[in-house]
Amino acid sequence: MPLSAAFLDAGRVEAIYPQHRELRTWPSWEILEHVRAEPAVMPHDEMAGQITQALGGHVVSISAGPAGLTAALWTQDSFPPWYHVVIWSGSLQAMTPSQPRIWGNPCWSASGVLAVTAFDGIRRGIVTIDPGDGRTRWWSRPASSSYRLLALAPGGQDALAVRSDHDGSAWLVRAVHGGADHRLQILRPADGVPVRVVTWSNDGITLEGLLARAGDSGPQRLLGAAAWRPGRRPSLR
């Protein structure tokens, strides 16, 4: 799977894999160049030091944006690692609130749109961040999939992302505002087992999980993993 990506302009995107990199057209995804990957460079160490000196905690990744702004993935505690995106320009400019739970590297578009992935129950959608005050807004909130955001296109209206679906499949997609994704390349096939997202609530705590059922009708074992959402009205779906 790709590790990261960057748009060179409105019509070309570079995808970085562990052993190679690909230059492709956007959004048609035709390959232009395939070369061996060079060793990764870890920039921004000095800026990460400035942020941790001012705020404490830990900086996981940094993304440089326009107009001298930088977005850093920051957490106060090493565990549990609930992250905020910090907007930095010599000093703290803004920080995302505690909700939604941020999880993923921030990405800038060439036009100054800032986005990151965030948890929505057990799924990860994409939110945009206002660099002025840190407020977030859902950009794409899938019902049964999760994103790993790789890069925002120059205008900020679409993005390159890895989308993992509830059936076990994974795709490189052109993610579009509102969730109308376009599949570009399959990365992992589906498991072939019916899976659906289930939600249940009690006493103001909402749990979500994935329910997979085998093809036969006999007794089946249940293995579950769930995430809770505080403050929801009790309901069962």
Q: State pLDDT tens for residues 16-75.
A: 999 999 999 999 999 999 998 776 565 677 889 999 999 999 999 999 998 889 999 999
How far CA 188 is from CA of 19, 177, 181, 223, 224, in Å, comes to: 18, 24, 17, 22, 22
pLDDT at 235 over 70: no
The pLDDT of residue 208 is 72
Dihedral of CA 56/150/122/120: which sign? Answer: positive
Structure tokens at 199: 């939600």
pLDDT at 10 over 90: yes
Q: What are phi and psi of 74, to 5 degrees?
A: -130, 145
Return the bridge partners of 6, or none. Answer: 14
Average pLDDT over residues 173-194: 89
| Number of residues written out for the chain | 237
Domains in the chain, CATH or no CATH each:
4-188 (2.120.10.30), 195-230 (no CATH)
The pLDDT of residue 26 is 97
Taking the C-alpha atoms of residue 39 and residue 204, their distance in angstroms, rounded to an integer, is 49
- Top pLDDT among 167 and 182 is at 182
Q: Residues 91-107: pLDDT tens digits? A: 999 999 999 999 999 99
